[in-house]
């Protein structure tokens, strides 16, 4: 089993204590976002977890607990962009705080286990192609030797971020313009010893040396473990997504990063109300078991072929 922690919220930033407590207890609850009365109880012991994939814009909360993750294989998807607080409201200064934090995390756990995400890329009057190239170059040079891989994507429009994007973002750039722009980023990444990949992109960027990425990455997990995973592509993700199956443990409308383009926090009032319910000792993240809820144990198991030794 692979745990996704989390596409829906920044658990390493805001809810690290909750997650570590759940590891200690050996289980957690996850509500079905399509049926709020359906709760899955999920075993999360080292025997069944093959890998934990952390998603974050700021890992500060989890970094003090890294020693408690020693029995688990894990890696980070670390988003670090050139946007200011007009777009990523509650992210600390990139140059003075976030780049050093990325470097510190990679120094502790290894550069192969911290993936740099420069996404989503969107173009506005302020965030032009030239701006992105300058910002990307500055970050890439700072992260040289601290990561092996950079992932990019162009912003996608969802029902939950449509108003912001339609009022702010230039979505009229042609495939040729986007490909030429991506090629410039690829050259910068290559100069800084990084492999470049794209995330859930329908545009084929292979002509400029950019491969399709798998954020829940079978190849990386197998490389880190030395074993083979018996696992399928995740059918619950978009068609262009290459991720393999994982179990998502996050809760929508709980992330306080304040990113204007976010699809997972789409109601500020709900987010504030949900965060008031946060209990680091609860099996549920920012929610409570209510009358009428049905709790079912989800069957989980290791998907690794045989017993492997973690290469960490």
Number of domains observed in the structure of the chain:
1
- The range of the structural domain enclosing residue 85 comes to 2-297
- Radius of gyration in angstroms for the set of CA atoms belonging to the chain, rounded to a whole number: 19
* Element of type H or E holding 197: strand 195-198
Q: Does 112 or 36 have the greater pLDDT score?
A: 112
Q: Once rounded to an integer, what is the mean pLDDT over residues 291-300?
A: 96
Name every residue whose Cβ is closer than 8 Å to that of residue 172 and which is 6 or more positions away in sequence. Answer: none
Name every residue whose Cβ is closer than 8 Å to that of residue 28 and which is 6 or more positions away in sequence. Answer: 22, 41, 42, 44, 249, 283, 284, 285
Q: Is residue 12 part of a domain?
A: yes
Q: Is residue 304 part of a domain?
A: no
Residues 307/8, Cβ–Cβ less than 8 Å: no
Q: Is residue 69 part of a domain?
A: yes
Q: Is residue 307 part of a domain?
A: no
Q: Is residue 63 part of a domain?
A: yes
Q: Does 200 or 152 have the greater pLDDT score?
A: 152
User: Does the reported pTM lie above 0.75?
Assistant: yes
Give which of 220, 200, 214 is closest to 244, Cα–Cα: 214
Q: Does residue 309 surpass a pLDDT of 60?
A: no
Q: Is residue 52 part of a domain?
A: yes
Q: Is residue 180 part of a domain?
A: yes
Cis peptide before 6 (omega within 30 of 0): yes
Q: Is residue 233 part of a domain?
A: yes
Q: Does 262 or 26 have the greater pLDDT score?
A: 26
């Amino acid at each position: 089993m692979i745990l996704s922690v989390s596409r829906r919220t920044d658990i390493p930033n805001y809810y690290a204590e909750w997650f570590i407590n759940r590891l200690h207890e050996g289980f957690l609850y996850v509500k079905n976002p399509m049926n709020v009365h359906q709760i899955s109880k999920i075993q999360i012991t080292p025997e069944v977890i093959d890998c934990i994939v952390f998603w974050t814009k700021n890992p500060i909360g989890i970094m003090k607990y890294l020693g408690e993750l020693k029995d688990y294989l894990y890696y980070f998807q670390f988003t670090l962009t050139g946007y200011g607080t007009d777009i990523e409201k509650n992210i600390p200064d990139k140059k003075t705080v976030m780049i050093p934090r990325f470097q510190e995390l990679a120094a502790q756990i290894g550069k192969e286990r911290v993936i740099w995400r420069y996404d989503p890329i969107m173009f506005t009057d302020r965030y032009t192609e030239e701006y992105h190239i300058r910002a990307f170059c500055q970050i890439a040079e700072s992260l040289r030797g601290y990561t092996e891989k950079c992932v990019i994507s162009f912003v996608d429009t969802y029902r939950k971020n449509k108003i912001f994007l339609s009022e702010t973002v230039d979505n009229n750039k042609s495939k040729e313009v986007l490909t030429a722009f991506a090629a410039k980023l690829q050259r910068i990444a290559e100069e800084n010893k990084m492999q470049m990949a794209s995330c859930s992109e329908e545009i084929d960027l292979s002509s400029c040396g950019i491969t399709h990425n798998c954020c829940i990455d079978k190849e990386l997990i197998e490389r880190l473990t030395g074993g083979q995973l018996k696992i399928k592509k995740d059918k619950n993700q978009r068609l262009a997504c290459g991720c393999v199956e994982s179990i998502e443990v996050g809760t929508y409308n709980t992330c306080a990063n304040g990113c204007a383009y976010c699809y997972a926090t789409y109601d500020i009032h709900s987010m504030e109300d949900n965060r008031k319910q946060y209990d680091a000792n609860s099996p549920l993240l920012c929610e409570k078991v209510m009358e009428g809820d049905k709790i079912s144990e989800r069957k989980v198991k290791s998907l690794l072929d045989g017993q492997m030794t973690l290469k960490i």
